[in-house]
Structure 1
Amino acid sequence: MPEGHTLHRLARLHQRRYAGAPVAVSSPQGRFAASLVDGRTLVRAEAHGKHLFHVYGPDAVVHVHLGLYGTFTESPLPVLLPVGQVRMRMAGATHWTDLRGPTACEVLNTDEVKAIRARLGPDPLRRDANPDLAYERVIRSRQSLAVLLMDQKVIAGVGNVYRAEVLFRHNVNPLLAGNKVSRELWDALWADLVVLMKDGVKVGQINTVRREHMPRAMKRPPRVDRHGGEVYVYRRAGEPCFLCGTEVRTTVLAARNLFWCPVCQP
């Protein structure tokens, strides 16, 4: 599932290409009420966690959650015939985009959007984010920090990659209980997530490895992975830790694969 930086990157792209002008919106698949926004001016595009919102007015906000399989494909004009199951098509003055396979694609009003956002924790990529609110939820829980970081009600936008990597970068045992997390540690984790996720928005992939541990600096081969980016432990189970050489471990925690180094994260 795409992590929060992907949705913010999409929001910025759609803001740049479609906002401020009328947008032709259709649903070739016939499973989305496109007529409610077709031809209207897109006021703005924004994201909160893993949710994307196209705001056409207080009575019409297109809410998209990509889920596991949702994707946008972006193309310059002219518009071509639909290929496959296109849930939503947007066409502007210079570009068009097709959305396929989302978990959610629906037209909501402002109150319904507020209800969705009220269920979400603060998003490190939003200016209105309040890390204090997230910490209050963490410190009241006996669940492991690894589980809490993936709970979108606690902090919105963090997925499996950022979870594993930020815990490694701060030498935190993933099973540390939330109510044992100090304020100092939480502030450090939050600040690091802001930096890492902003970089993800900028470059379009997740890079978490510090400069001194990059392939050239360590004279090691670069990571080969369809997701790209350099990481410390994510999907590196059985490989040696870059810092201590210990085998990176993995287990299933709350139905998701967890990766960590048992020495660097004691």
Structure 2
Amino acid sequence: MNETTQVAESKIEELEQIARKIRRKSLEIIHRAGSGHPGGSLSGADIAAALFFGVMRYDPKNPLDPKRDRFILSKGHATGLLYATLSQAGFITDAELVDYRKINSKRNLSGHPHPKTPGVEIATGSLGQGLSAGHGMALAARLDNLDYRVYVLMGDGELQEGQVWEAAMSAAKFKSTNLVAIVDYNKVAQDSITKDLKDLEPIEDKWRAFGWDVQRIDGHDMAQVHKALTLPLHAEKPRVIIADTVKGKGVSFMEGKTAWHGVAPSDEDFAKAMKELE
């Protein structure tokens, strides 16, 4: 095994450990608040860990640095994931997380992202709007002669919104090559299986038809996630990464269950979940 391989494997292990911490912290703040969205927070943890600790450029002490990479949580209900990640990255402290979903939270840690929270670019939660905002930020980089990238994490359910595909067409039209969309494809929506609402397949063909560079990966294989996020960008097309994930990943009784979309765990379930995530 050469030194490069050892370094790569060491980095993957580090990211896996961070993803586990993010999962634990997500459940902790949701449980303490008595409300939140655990399923989608757990499914996106590997993606968030790879982005914030293996790919993105940012300075938590200067969250408005114009050269920073941008991250948009388009599936805005998954703030358990977002705030746990921002805490791990140093934008907010663990002590401040106590205010999650409380009125008059010092860091505006509301149920959906608030732009006054350090590390949050835009308010989201009206599903389907994140990609439009991300495309606008990507175009702004070109106008300002900056080389930052914009990463948009979307849920699969919101791909049923027409605005997503309008943004997809626009990004391809204007060749926004610094825009990367990631679909947290956990296949479970709020109260049903996604395909039973509107089947997204063939999802790769749809994005290709709209002019995007498409990759499909196992969203829980950290090596695949990291590789997909670090490959050179396409010279003329925006990129979309279809990440096949499991809703509630890491907690056996939550995995793949619609019931865990927007329900906080009880004391008993929380203890079980944290034991599984040790």
Question: What TM-score do the two structures reach when normalised by structure 1?
Answer: 0.28
Q: Of Structure 1 and Structure 2, which has the larger fraction of its residues in helix?
A: 2
Computing the radius of gyration from Cα coordinates, the structure with the larger value is 1
